[in-house]
C-alpha cells in the first residue's frame, strides 16, 4: 500500500451510506479508519445532527471535518414535482428536508460530496451530468467524475448496474415514462469507460452500488449469516456491479466507499499483477462454499469481443483497497463513520501545486482535475488525443488559475414554500442548468453526448484481486 506523506495533514472526513428510511439494521464491524460514511435517503437534518454528536464524542468539531461523503439515495427533491421523477411508490414519496437547503433557509454545516443512487430526483441530477452544486456547500459528482481536494483525488460513479441498459446512451427525457423513471439511474458504459481511461493514482472512489465480488474480501460469513439473500446473489456471481468491479480492478483506489445494501461491511481488497487464473486463490473461502459457486468464477477473466485485457497503467502502483459500505439512517443503524485519510507519498511537488488553494477557514477548495477534464474533452472531440487535450487544459485553464470549482450554485426549479397555495401536479419541465452550461463553455465542448465507442483497452469483466 502507498506510504503516507509526512508534510500534509490527514483528511478528517465522514462517510454515510444513504439518506433514506431502512429496514432492520445489521451490525457488521468495519476495519476502515479513514472517513465518515453516511447513506442519506432524504434525512439530511438527521445526518448532520448525528455527525455533530459523533465528532464531539471523538473530540472533534464540525469545523475540523474536511467533508462528508454521502453514497447515494440523496433525494435532492426541490419541490413536490421532483417527487414524481423518483423511482419510489407514490405512497412512500415524501419531501423530507433537502428543499430547505435548496431554498436557503438551511445550509450544510460541512462540505458534502454526493453520488447518485437508485432513489433520486433523477431530473435534478440529469441537469448536472458533469457534476455541480445541488445547494450551497453540497456538491454532486455527476454520472462519473474525478475531482481534487488539495492533493487528494476523489472519483465518483453514480447509479446502479442494470445489464440491459448498460450499453445504451442517456436517452431518458422529461416527462419520464414508467420505465424511464427507473432506467435513468442505471450506470452507462460510456461513463465507466471515461473512468477507465484515468492513468494516474486515485485516493478515494465513491459509488452507490458495491463493486461485484468485493464481498469475498471481507467477513463474508458474517455478511451472509446476517443477510442470507446476499449469498443467493453472490453464489450466482450477481452481487454488486460488474462496472464497479472493472473500475476497482484497473484504477485500484486506496479507499472505496459505497452504500445501497443497507448494511455496514468492510473488506481489504488485495490486487494482483496477474490477469489470469483463479481469483479466489488467496481468499479464504471454505470448500463447502466454493462448491456452490459457478466454475466461471475460478477461470481467467472474461474479455468482451474487440477488447483487450489491461493491467493498471504504470503510474498506478497501489496494491490494496480498503472498502467500506454503510447502512442508512435509523436507530441503532451503523450509517455514519468518522475516518482519517493520509495523503499518498507521491502527492507532492508540481503535480499538486494547482490544487492547494485554501478557503478562509484553512480548508482545501474543490478543484477540477486536469486529467479528468482532458478525458471528458477528448470524448467530445476525437480529432485530438487525450495528451493534446491535457496540454490545452494546462494552458487554457491551469495557467489561468481556472481549475477551482466556482461556487456558482443557482436555482432554476421553483422553490417550495408550504404556505404557498400552489398545485404541484405532474412532472416538471426540463430546466437547463447554468452550472452545466458554464462547464461545457469552459471546456468548449461540442453539442451532444460524449461518445467513447473507440475505447478499446478496458479492465476485464471479472476482477483480478488476489
Phi and psi at 202, nearest 5°, equal: -110, 145
Q: What is the pLDDT of residue 294?
A: 82
Among 26-40, 68-82, 130-144, 198-212, whose mean pLDDT is lowest?
A: 26-40
Do the Cβ atoms of 206 and 69 come closer than 8 Å? yes
Share of the chain above pLDDT 70, in %: 84
**Residue 417 contacts by C-beta under 8 Å, 6 or more apart in sequence?**
103
Choice between 347 and 400, residue whose per-residue pLDDT is larger: 400
Q: What pLDDT does residue 349 have?
A: 62
Tell me if the pTM is above 0.85.
yes
Tell me which of 275 and 257 has the higher pLDDT.
Answer: 257
Average of per-residue pLDDT across 244-252: 93
21-53 confidence digits (pLDDT tens): 433 333 333 333 334 443 444 589 999 999 999
Split at pLDDT 50, 70, 90, the class of 449 is low
Average pLDDT of the chain, as a whole number? 87
The reported pLDDT for the residue numbered 62 is 96
- Return the H-helix or E-strand segment holding 8: none
Helix, coil or strand: residue 463: coil
Banded pLDDT at 345 (limits 50, 70, 90):
low
pLDDT in tens, 74-108: 999 999 999 999 999 999 899 999 999 999 999 99
Q: Is the pLDDT of residue 456 over 50?
A: no
Average pLDDT of span 361-365: 94
Average confidence (pLDDT) over 425-451: 91
Helix axes 434-443, 370-380, angle to 10 degrees: 90
pLDDT at 320 over 60: yes
pLDDT of 353 reads 92
Contact 455, 295 (CB under 8 A): no
What's the mean pLDDT in 377-385? 95
462 has pLDDT over 60: no
Considering only CA atoms, which of 81, 87, 148 is closest in space to residue 113? 148
Residue 335 has pLDDT above 60, yes or no: yes
For the chain, domain boundaries: 11-458
Considering only 312-316, 319-323, 414-418, 458-462, which range has the smallest mean pLDDT? 458-462
| Per-residue model confidence (pLDDT) at position 322 | 98
Q: What's the average model confidence in pLDDT over 219-232?
A: 94
What pLDDT does 297 receive?
A: 75
If you average pLDDT over residues 409-423, what whole number do you get?
A: 92
Specify the 3-state DSSP secondary structure of 405: coil
Amino acid at each position: 500500500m502507498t506510504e503516507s506523506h509526512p508534510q500534509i495533514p490527514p483528511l478528517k472526513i465522514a462517510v454515510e451510506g444513504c439518506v433514506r428510511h431502512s429496514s432492520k439494521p445489521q451490525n457488521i464491524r468495519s476495519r476502515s479508519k479513514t472517513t465518515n460514511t453516511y447513506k442519506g435517503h432524504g434525512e439530511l437534518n438527521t445526518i448532520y445532527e448525528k455527525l455533530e454528536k459523533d465528532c464531539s464524542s471523538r473530540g472533534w468539531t464540525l469545523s475540523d471535518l474536511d467533508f462528508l461523503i454521502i453514497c447515494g439515495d440523496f433525494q435532492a427533491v426541490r419541490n413536490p414535482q421532483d417527487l414524481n421523477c423518483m423511482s419510489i411508490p407514490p405512497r412512500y414519496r415524501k419531501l423530507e428536508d433537502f428543499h430547505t437547503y435548496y431554498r436557503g433557509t438551511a445550509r450544510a454545516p460541512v462540505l458534502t460530496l454526493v453520488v447518485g443512487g437508485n432513489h433520486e430526483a433523477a431530473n435534478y441530477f440529469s441537469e448536472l451530468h458533469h457534476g455541480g452544486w445541488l445547494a450551497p456547500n453540497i456538491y454532486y459528482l455527476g454520472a462519473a467524475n474525478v475531482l481534487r481536494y488539495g492533493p487528494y483525488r476523489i472519483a465518483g460513479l453514480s447509479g446502479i448496474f442494470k445489464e440491459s441498459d448498460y450499453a445504451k446512451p442517456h436517452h431518458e427525457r422529461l416527462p419520464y415514462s414508467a420505465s424511464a423513471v427507473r432506467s435513468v439511474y442505471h450506470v452507462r458504459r460510456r461513463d465507466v469507460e471515461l473512468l477507465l481511461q484515468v492513468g494516474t493514482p486515485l485516493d478515494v472512489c465513491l459509488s452507490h452500488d458495491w463493486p461485484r465480488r468485493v464481498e469475498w474480501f471481507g467477513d463474508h460469513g458474517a455478511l451472509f449469516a446476517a443477510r442470507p439473500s446476499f449469498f443467493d446473489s453472490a453464489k450466482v456471481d450477481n452481487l454488486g456491479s460488474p462496472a464497479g468491479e472493472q473500475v476497482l480492478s484497473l484504477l485500484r483506489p486506496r479507499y472505496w466507499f459505497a452504500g445501497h445494501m443497507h448494511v455496514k461491511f468492510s473488506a481489504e481488497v488485495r490486487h494482483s499483477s496477474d490477469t489470469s487464473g483463479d481469483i479466489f486463490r488467496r481468499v479464504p473461502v471454505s470448500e463447502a462454499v466454493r462448491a456452490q459457486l459457478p466454475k466461471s468464477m475460478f477461470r481467467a477473466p472474461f474479455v468482451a469481443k474487440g477488447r483487450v485485457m489491461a493491467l493498471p497503467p504504470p503510474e498506478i502502483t497501489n496494491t490494496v483497497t480498503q472498502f467500506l459500505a454503510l447502512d442508512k439512517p435509523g436507530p441503532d443503524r451503523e450509517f455514519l463513520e468518522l475516518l482519517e485519510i493520509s495523503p499518498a507519498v507521491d502527492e507532492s511537488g508540481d503535480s499538486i501545486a494547482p490544487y492547494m488553494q485554501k478557503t478562509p477557514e484553512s480548508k482545501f477548495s474543490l478543484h477540477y482535475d486536469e486529467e479528468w477534464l482532458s478525458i471528458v474533452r477528448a470524448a467530445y472531440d476525437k480529432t485530438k488525443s487525450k495528451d493534446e487535450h491535457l496540454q490545452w487544459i494546462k494552458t487554457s485553464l491551469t495557467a489561468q488559475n481556472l481549475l477551482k470549482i466556482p461556487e456558482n450554485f443557482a436555482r432554476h426549479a421553483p422553490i417550495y414554500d408550504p404556505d404557498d397555495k400552489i398545485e404541484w401536479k405532474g412532472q416538471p419541465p426540463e430546466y437547463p442548468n447554468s452550472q452545466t452550461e458554464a462547464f461545457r463553455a469552459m471546456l468548449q465542448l461540442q453539442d451532444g453526448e460524449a461518445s467513447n465507442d473507440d475505447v478499446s483497452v478496458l479492465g476485464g469483466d471479472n476482477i483480478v484481486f488476489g
